[in-house]
Structure 1
Amino acid sequence: MHPNAQTLQRFYTAFAQLDHATMAACYAPNATFDDEAFSLKGREQVAGMWRMLCTATKKPGAAEHWKLEFSGIDADAQGGKAHWEAHYLFSATGRKVHNIIDGTFTFTPEGLIATHRDRFNFWRWARQALGAPGLLLGWSPSLKRKVRSTAAGNLKKFLAQGG
């Protein structure tokens, strides 16, 4: 297994265990992360997002719904990919979500994640996480902007509080 594939294996194993510290250690200091909810620059922001999500998922009432499965890890010196599926309660609504995600990565020469891009069907996620509003508006750019804005605000507040 290529060392970069080992980095992804370590990252997703830690994620399944909600071990945000090990996840953060897989990123380069100037790493970037992008998905439907976040666009982040630097290990501090990326690690903060994972810390915020793991902390919320560990709370009573949410922890028993958490499950992460990953497969298709493949990486070489140029980049990597992974498929992962998360089962969780969306903290804002308490609704059950089964999100299906494909990640793509690039790495530093030291084997740390330089770029991480996750893609998933936003409308499918919105229907599960938000219920009727997600069903009706999950296709719209305005709902996606609202979700991104709320997520960025939540992360900023979390980090400001020492999270």
Structure 2
Amino acid sequence: MNTIETFYAAFNKGDWQTMADCYHPEAEFTDEVFVGLKGREVPAMWRMLIERGGGDMDVTFSHVQETAEKGSADWVAVYLFSATGRRVINRIHAEFELKDGKIYRHRDRFDLHKWAAQAMGFKGKLLGSTGFFRKKLQKTARAGLDRYLSRNI
């Protein structure tokens, strides 16, 4: 099993420690919500999300491609959004740069508007495509990760 497959198999099991082991110490991560995470912030984000999910997240992955330097995958996360209790089915495309056999840069892309409509209902459907919503969500997510890091890592 290659690094990317190991990462997603661990994610599906809720095994944040194995996920963390897949990352290079100088890793960087960005998606639509968590922007510009570096180093220890990256595995801490996954740990936080897994712990908040309470083991109710289902992760499937496909189309994994990996060379010594790059990789990509498509993955789907099905879970209850902790802030609202609403069910989310999020379809994501991931791109990776690898260094020393570890994930060095990780970029996830997904439809934030579609995610917001599922996670937040009417309010998310109405505002989910606006820059204001994106910035507020990113700021809230960053503050939550900072609080998590100060208590747990």
Shift of the alpha carbon at 1:40? 3.6
What are the Cα deviations for residues 33-86 of structure 1, in whole angstroms up to 9, with x where unaligned? Answer: 00001124433100110110011112xxxx34x211100000112310000000
Give the TM-score, by structure 2 length. Answer: 0.96
Could you tell me which residue of structure 2 aligns to residue 6 of structure 1? 2
Could you tell me which residue of structure 2 aligns to residue 46 of structure 1? 42
RMSD: 1.2
Note if contact 1:33-1:39 (Cα within 8 Å) is conserved in structure 2: yes
Structure 2: gaps of 5 or more residues: none
Could you tell me which residue of structure 2 aligns to residue 94 of structure 1? 85
Identity %: 41
1:111 aligned onto 2:101? yes
Alpha-carbon distance between aligned partners in 2 of 1:102 and 1:75, rounded to the nearest angstrom: 14
Alpha-carbon distance between aligned partners in 2 of 1:133 and 1:73, rounded to the nearest angstrom: 34
Give the TM-score, by structure 1 length. Answer: 0.90
Structure 1: gaps of 5 or more residues: none
Write the mapping of 1:1-163 to structure 2, written as runs, cut at 5 A: 6-58=2-54, 63-64=55-56, 66-108=57-99, 110-162=100-152
Alpha-carbon distance between aligned partners in 2 of 1:155 and 1:120, rounded to the nearest angstrom: 20
Alpha-carbon distance between aligned partners in 2 of 1:21 and 1:87, rounded to the nearest angstrom: 21
Alpha-carbon distance between aligned partners in 2 of 1:127 and 1:42, rounded to the nearest angstrom: 29
Q: How many aligned positions are there?
A: 153
Alpha-carbon distance between aligned partners in 2 of 1:75 and 1:39, rounded to the nearest angstrom: 24
